[in-house]
A and B are shown apart, each in its own frame.
Chain A
Amino acid sequence: MADNTTPAIELRGLRKRYGSGDTAVDALKGVDMRIAPGEVVGLVGPSGSGKSTLLKCLGAVIDPTAGQMLLGGEAIFDEVWKVKDLRTLRRDRIGFVFQAPYLIPFLDVTDNVALLPMLAGKSNKDARRRALELLEALDVAHRAKASPSLLSGGEQQRVSIARALANNPPIILADEPTAPLDSERALGVVKILNDMAQQHQTAIIVVTHDEKIIPTFKRIYHIRDGKTYEE
């Protein structure tokens, strides 16, 4: 059972090897990471350092080769996946925010957010109520019925944050969420992430190259040659 000292996400010696034999590439060479609930950390590193691989492992879309991954104290990976259904794991326990918002263009703003609770089995009414709460909190409720294509970049990113929070996951993975935004909006998104992390006790890992926002993180993990170093 998780308590207050239990990290939201913990990685122990996580490794990922692509290929085999002479052509094998070790993308992750034993990553250790520990993030508490409500904490927002930065993950910074040059291209090819293993950021995307780490994010994909954390997002349960590729299989790590070795190591451990614990979510809320529960081992979800220990040399092999400990959960049978990775799709359900992603849906219920991991939120995603992408570099581009990647909202579903044929759903309106509300349904983009409500889709996750609906996929989790909530009624349309409850799912939409939850979506509207989040849109309200993120100050985009006035665009609830709009098509995503009619929203500004900042508004789209706020909707994608609302979508990531929709099932109240313990962890959110944000892949360069401020890349397409100017400084003001980028800092605004970081503030929102911090507020949401505090409000929902969600651990947020922000992968970024963005020099403007790096100083805002209390903790930063640097990744280089497949290994992480905490700053």
Chain B
Amino acid sequence: MISLAARDIAHSWSKYVFTGIGLGLLIGVTLSMAGIFRGMVDDAQVLLRNSQADVWVVQKDTQGPYAESSSLPDDVYRSILGMPGVQQAANVTYFTMQVQHQGKDIRVMVVGFKPGQPGAPPSLVAGRHVTRSHYEAVADVKAGFKLGEKIRIRRNEYTIVGLSQRTVSSGGDPMVFIPLADAQAAQFQKDNDAIVSGRERTAANPAFNRPNVPGLLEAVQMSQTTSHNVNAVLVQVRPGWDAAQVAADIQRWKHLQAYTYADMEEISVKKLIATSAKQIGLFLVILTIVSTAIVSFIIYTMTLGKIREIAVLKLIGTRNSTIAWMILQESIGLGLVGFIIGKTVSTLWAPAFPKYVLLLPLDAVLGLLVIVVVCTLASVMAIRAALKVDPAEAIGG
């Protein structure tokens, strides 16, 4: 038996292809939305993975350092190093700022780290790691800098010595890694007027400006212009130790907040992007409903255009199931054409998005299954119309 659907499609292929292109663009948008959501989740996860930490120690009663601000004295890490099960503990700072590159503003997350410690940039795609104590930086390729270029962070310029890849904040901003001391200074750096004003206010305080204690005022003023805080301490546990137990011990004995990888994933993925996820989820549902409505309408219209032929087919003995199968095949065929176009365009335009779009093969397979279901549902109305056609309509009007 010949395929009536294939013949009908071949007969009106241009109408079919143009409809498929329209549907394909809609499917492309749907796949891209799913990709944007996956990209957000991946950004959050890649931030955690790149930290190379098993436990994040942050200010008590905060969910820092990514979801909330957190501030810790920079000598806390020493006491953490002495805790059972701790192999490495390193200070890190994170702050987001706008930097200039070739006349354009770029939003980056500046990471202060100690070379060779948790929080350092993972493997580089070009250049070398930071080896000097000051004014060297490693930047994510997405920031657009090239090796040897200068990046200005607050008052200082840093030479880009290495380039990393997929090192981004949970918001998708590229990271720039600089030495910890520089980052601490930059993060809490005051402008000159504020420094002068602060010094005057301290000098006016008789408790700090005692005539019979030389050097006290200068010491106090010095302490006010330098920062000894960090945002978090990243901890790696010894092999065989349970990170959750180490985190619980730190929390209990050091009166700090300590999160395991799972805790941080909960905060970063489920809490931080929960609203965005709901937003995108709702958008996906709306797009699916719109796609169903469009396919329904197209297939229904195409079927109505064949009412006379369907009446003739029924009159000459074609089974209802054969006619229903023809409509269903055409509907699913339209969906498949749309899917191929949608997958192609979503892959082509994904790199043009400013944020990371992660198109997972699994999502594509899932999308394909949804399209098959949607097209099946969409054909119901047309099949009902076709089955209602009276074969007598072919005779005598």
Contact = CB atoms under 8 A, between A and B. Distances in A.
B317 A102 contact: no
Contact of B395 (A52, A92, A111, A118): A52
Contacts of A124: 1-2
B391 interface: yes
B7 A106 contact: yes
B11 A105 contact: yes
Given A98-B395, A124-B1, A61 B315 contact: yes
Interface stretch (B222-230, B267-275, B306-314, B352-360): B306-314
Interface string B315-326: 111110010000
Interface string B1-37: 1101001101110000000000000000000000000
A178 B385 CA distance: 31
B396 A51 contact: yes
A102 B395 contact: no
A88 to B, nearest CB: 6
A115 interface: yes
B74 interface: no
Interface string A109-120: 001001110111
B56 to A, nearest CB: 65
Nearest to B2: A111
Nearest to A160: B312
A52 B312 contact: no
A70 to B, nearest CB: 20
Contacts, number: 81
A35 B308 CA distance: 30
B390 interface: yes
- Using C-beta atoms within 8 Å of the partner chain, give the interface range for chain A: 20 to 34
A91 interface: yes
B67 interface: no
A193 to B, nearest CB: 17
Interface residues of B, number: 26
Contacts of A207: 396
A59 interface: yes
A116 B316 contact: yes
A144 B315 CA distance: 23
A91 B316 contact: yes
Nearest to B326: A106
Q: Give the top 8 A-B pairs by smallest Cβ distance, nearest first.
A: A91-B317, A52-B396, A106-B11, A61-B392, A106-B8, A106-B7, A102-B312, A61-B391
Interface of B: 1-2, 4, 7-8, 10-12, 308-309, 312-319, 322, 390-392, 394-397
Given A87-B319, A107-B7, A116-B317, 18 more contacts: A59-B315, A59-B392, A61-B395, A91-B316, A96-B394, A98-B395, A104-B312, A105-B11, A106-B11, A114-B2, A118-B1, A119-B1, A120-B317, A124-B2, A163-B316, A173-B395, A175-B396, A207-B396
Interface of A: 51-52, 55-56, 59, 61-62, 87-88, 90-92, 96, 98-99, 102, 104-107, 111, 114-116, 118-120, 124, 147, 163, 173, 175, 207
9 contacts: A87-B314, A88-B317, A96-B316, A98-B394, A104-B312, A106-B4, A106-B11, A107-B2, A147-B11
